[in-house]
Amino acid sequence: MSSNKAGRLLFGTGGVPLSAESRSTEAGIERIAELGLGCMEVEFVQGVKMSPEVAVSVGELAARKNVVLTAHGPYFVNLNAVERQKVHMSKERILQTARIAALFGARSITFHAAFYLKGTPAETYAMVKRHLQEVMNTLRKEGNKVTISPEVTGKSSQFGTLEELLQLSSEIEGILPCIDFSHWHARTGKANSYQEFLAVLDQVEKKLGRRGLDNMHIHLSGIAYGKKGELKHLMLPDSDLRYAKLLKALKDRKATGVIICESAPYIEQDALLLQRTYRELP
């Protein structure tokens, strides 16, 4: 993270803002800067389709505009797949994301790591850990320092509870969780009060120390959910997520890093709402 942005909580969008001139990453960075936001997540959800040359120029633009970048890897990742080829391709997709993200100076990349399928949580954890350790070994050999941040997931069928990701982060160097507070609320039906938000942050600090709170990669959005968890993303004012209480907890614990807004449909509107709410806190 650029030095003048270190030690702060930055707000931005998951993908190019709707009001950008075009759907290109460059137009997105320009618009983020115009809006006075601090970060943007580059979405590779349908595959990593950016050339190394473009990645370098994207990084130069982001540095000029003082916009911190993260990346979201493809959706087609399951490190617990039964078929070996699917696991191999999942690892390749994470590696591709990390390699391109490193070229544009991303601080971290996130992705949904796995599904339990027929495995127990413990069996799935062992598989995910083994494969992510191999991914990290490859990246470190290449000199790639991008933080790998598997995401807290919103459905009970998906690997990615807060506890699982904190454990992974404590066991594999270079991994920190991407905490999607909306997913965690949808998944648990709880985690929606000031005290519960504080409890999550204290859990992070207990497991990972201050570095866990000093380098946060957070996802936030309005969310609709049912018995099995997440149904769809909404705008924050249309959801029951008590985002102002979360922002207060983050401020009180002096958390820093990035908050990527994934509300639908108007992502930049909610990113600006979050930034404004945070800055107005006493």
Token representation of residue 265 = 């449909």
Q: How far apart are the first and last CA of the chain?
A: 26
Q: What is the torsion angle, in degrees rounded to the nearest 10, for the CA atoms of residue 15, residue 18, residue 24 and residue 30? A: -90
3 falls in which pLDDT band (50, 70, 90)?
Answer: very low
7 falls in which pLDDT band (50, 70, 90)?
Answer: confident
CA 179 to chain centre: 7
Evaluate whether 10 touches 40 at the Cβ level (below 8 Å). Answer: no
Q: Looking at this protein, which amino acid is placed at residue 199? A: A
Residue ranges of alpha helices (H) inside the chain are 25-35, 52-65, 84-103, 121-141, 162-171, 181-188, 194-208, 210-214, 243-252, 267-280
Q: What is the mean pLDDT of residues 89-94?
A: 98
Class of domain 9-280: alpha beta
Percentage of the chain lying above the pLDDT 70 cut: 98
Buried-exposed string 209-223: b where 16+ CB fall within 10 A, e elsewhere:
eeebbbbbbbbbbbb
Evaluate whether 70 touches 217 at the Cβ level (below 8 Å). Answer: yes
Q: What is the pLDDT of residues 40-52, one digit of tens each?
A: 999 999 999 999 9
Answer whether residue 21 shows pLDDT above 80.
yes
CA 87 to chain centre: 21
Q: What is the pLDDT of residues 30-79, one digit of tens each?
A: 999 999 999 999 999 999 999 999 999 999 999 999 999 999 999 999 99
Q: What is the pLDDT of residues 107-154, one digit of tens each?
A: 999 999 999 999 999 999 999 999 999 999 999 999 999 999 999 999
Q: What is the mean pLDDT of residues 85-111?
A: 98
> So what's the pLDDT on residue 6?
63
> Distance between CA atoms of 68 and 2, rounded to whole angstroms?
8
Answer whether residue 17 shows pLDDT above 80.
yes
| Dihedral pair phi/psi, residue 235, rounded to 5° | -80, 145
CA neighbor of 220 nearest in space, from 175, 256, 273: 273
Q: What is the mean pLDDT of residues 166-192?
A: 97
Percentage of the chain lying above the pLDDT 90 cut: 98
